[in-house]
Amino acid sequence: MILLATESRGGDVNAEPGPDTRWTPVIRRREVVNEAALPADLPRVLRRVYAARGVTDGAELERSLNGMIPPDRMTGAREAARLLADLIERGGRLLVVGDFDADGATSCALCLLAIRAMGHAEVDFLVPNRFDYGYGMTPEIVELARERAPDLILTVDNGISSIAGVAAANAAGIPVIVTDHHLPGSALPTAAAIVNPNAPDNEFPSKAAAGVGVAFYVLLALRAELQRRGWFEGRGLRPPNMAQFLDLVALGTVADVVPLDRNNRILVHQGLMRIRAGDCRPGILALLEAAGRDHRRVQAADMGFAVGPRLNAAGRLDDMTRGIACLLAESIEEARPLARELDGLNRDRRRIEQEMQEEAERILAGWLADEDSLAWGLCLFREDWHQGVIGILASRIKERYHRPVIAFAAAGDDTLKGSARSIPGLHIRDALDRVAARHPRLLQKFGGHAMAAGMSIAREDFEAFSRAFDEVVRELLDPEALQPLVDSDGAIPAEELNLETARLIADAGPWGQAFPEPLFDDCFEIRSGRIVGERHWKLLLHHPESGQSIDGIAFNAVERHPRLPQRARVAYRLDVNEWRGQVALQLRIEHMEPA
């Protein structure tokens, strides 16, 4: 491990005082890894990048559907398929109960579209309004569901922690199939079938599957079961090509920020190929259009930073039913007005988020003024914070101060809802589990993943919970983990610093969580810079070794760098910049420090 810099406290001698730099990242170059096992015909830069991400065999780079984990490896999928097939054969009513985020929305849309394509029309969906009912299939949601008179409930992207809700459905005579990917608690719901790769005894090799990925595997099993029973043949139906739904799987997988392991990379790659070809849901095309993105050049990052947030805005500020309606739209003309609504909600979300972040920064500045230090586990609360935006706020503060953060909002009935985001080195759900074991009355309920979680506490317990959370974080987290790091793939040879390499890397993904897009670092002279969009630096960089002049863009960097040094060490990604018919290499700068 090579550290190329320590915390930056200096800079250009003529620079104006900047913001607090105690959490300035350090560039860390990835370990040099043996590339010998990778195919010799791979370009040198890709061999190096893939090896650094743990790829040890060329077979791991397979992106065709033939490389998918077979559906029969998903424990519980066959039983769920038999129950669904029984329902379909007798013409029963199916109700899909989803979650109010992009993973839940894509899962809902996927199930409705695929089951209808299999010849069954009696399928509907219900998504809890987060402000009225909170997360998951609660007993209150079951009461709403009973009004639809379903014969079977299918949960997607939730249900593994719905002990009381499944019990209520059972009492009402409605069997439940749970499909989920969240980590289970000590007890499981008494469902008719449970499909969750993270449940005990589930042997599915990919524990990183998103909720939409789990639902996709159940639907693959359902199609196989219906084929075995002669359902399609008996009705003169053609079994649906399930690959047509991979656009939804790709969107939900990337938007939920699950690790892009080999299986997820296959699903996302195949979905992106269909989107690029325009062979996808009109709602996805409309959302890309609203975000100003060209579907023909779409990358995984566009799903995470353009489409996902607009879809999520419905669940954060209003009702995810709008988002699902957009995904279900059958034409671009039907989808565009819905996409415009979602785009408007996303603009509202950004405004609310900015106001909340400014308030949080004021709170933290006050704490630092008094103590000159911060808790290792930060808990923040203001009475007027928006419940639908606290997750984004927690993420922003985590990125700024590089420590686990829980942001709380008032939820009525003297209850606070919290949304947690963690950093590498701390499994946030395990930390909450330890708090719950040590202080049984503090957490009313909680659940989540290694890096994100949600919870409810009593308003009066905020201070006590804050102390307990910080105490547990200090026990579980190595102090070195509080140093923010920028993981670099090192310097790129001058002869590879070109448009061809940028295109090569763009095509070599999909890149995302746990399989990050390549990031390089080197020293450049800054020949000129201008502020664009009020917060971004547009730079002209000179590479001393090659003599090249290269454009660079540093987003949201003006506050961190109010003045520019003449020479800087830059951590950057290679970008293909297309502007007014011109195509050129551009460096997308992630970190910059005086050199």
**Residue 579 CA: distances (Å) to CA of 90, 291, 297, 511, 530:** 57, 16, 14, 24, 18
Range 171-189 average pLDDT: 95
In this predicted structure, the answer to whether residue 101 has a pLDDT above a threshold of 70 is yes
- Following DSSP, what letter does each residue of 441-509 receive, concatenated? TTEEEEEE-SSEEEEEEEGGGHHHHHHHHHHHHHHHS-GGGGS-EEEE-----GGG-SHHHHHHHHHT-
Residues 175 and 152 sit within 8 Å (Cβ to Cβ): yes
pLDDT at position 560 is 87
Fold of 65-280: inorganic pyrophosphatase (n-terminal core) (3.90.1640)
* Of the candidates 132, 171, 141, the residue with the CA atom closest to the CA atom of residue 159: 141
Residues 251 and 303 sit within 8 Å (Cβ to Cβ): yes
In this predicted structure, the answer to whether residue 15 has a pLDDT above a threshold of 50 is no
Q: H helices of 34-134, where?
A: 44-52, 77-89, 102-117
Q: Which tens digits make up the pLDDT trace of 282-335? A: 999 999 999 999 999 999 999 999 999 999 999 999 889 999 999 999 999 999
* Of the candidates 574, 595, 570, the residue with the CA atom closest to the CA atom of residue 27: 570
Q: Which two tokens stand for residue 48?
A: 């190096």
**Residue 519 CA: distances (Å) to CA of 432, 545, 557:** 33, 19, 17
Give the domain ranges of the chain: 2-30+489-594, 65-280, 374-482
Q: Which two tokens stand for residue 193?
A: 């079938």
Enter the pTM of the model. 0.91
pLDDT at position 578 is 85
Q: Which tens digits make up the pLDDT trace of 23-81? A: 789 999 999 888 888 999 999 999 999 999 999 889 999 999 999 999 999 999 999 99
- Give the rounded percent of residues in the chain with a pLDDT score beyond 70: 96
Q: Which residue has the higher pLDDT, 137 or 270?
A: 270
Q: Which tens digits make up the pLDDT trace of 370-387? A: 777 899 999 999 999 999
Using pLDDT thresholds of 50, 70 and 90, give the confidence band for residue 406.
very high
Using pLDDT thresholds of 50, 70 and 90, give the confidence band for residue 21.
low
Instruction: Give the architecture-level CATH label for domain 2-30+489-594.
Output: Beta Barrel (2.40)
Q: How far apart are CA 198 and CA 329, in angstroms?
A: 32
* CA atoms within 13 A of residue 186's CA, in its CB half-sphere: 6
**Cα angle: 432, vertex 434, 436; to 5 degrees:** 70
Residues 78 and 72 sit within 8 Å (Cβ to Cβ): yes
Please state which CATH number belongs to domain 374-482.
3.10.310.30
Q: Which two tokens stand for residue 481?
A: 């983990």
Range 205-221 average pLDDT: 97
- Following DSSP, what letter does each residue of 343-381 receive, concatenated? HHHHHHHHHHHHHHHHHHHHHHHHHHHHHSS--SSEEEE
In this predicted structure, the answer to whether residue 367 has a pLDDT above a threshold of 60 is yes
Using pLDDT thresholds of 50, 70 and 90, give the confidence band for residue 22.
low
* Of the candidates 489, 497, 552, the residue with the CA atom closest to the CA atom of residue 518: 489
Q: How far apart are CA 159 and CA 21, in angstroms?
A: 43
Q: Which tens digits make up the pLDDT trace of 454-468? A: 999 999 999 999 999
* Of the candidates 588, 585, 578, the residue with the CA atom closest to the CA atom of residue 499: 585
pLDDT at position 37 is 86
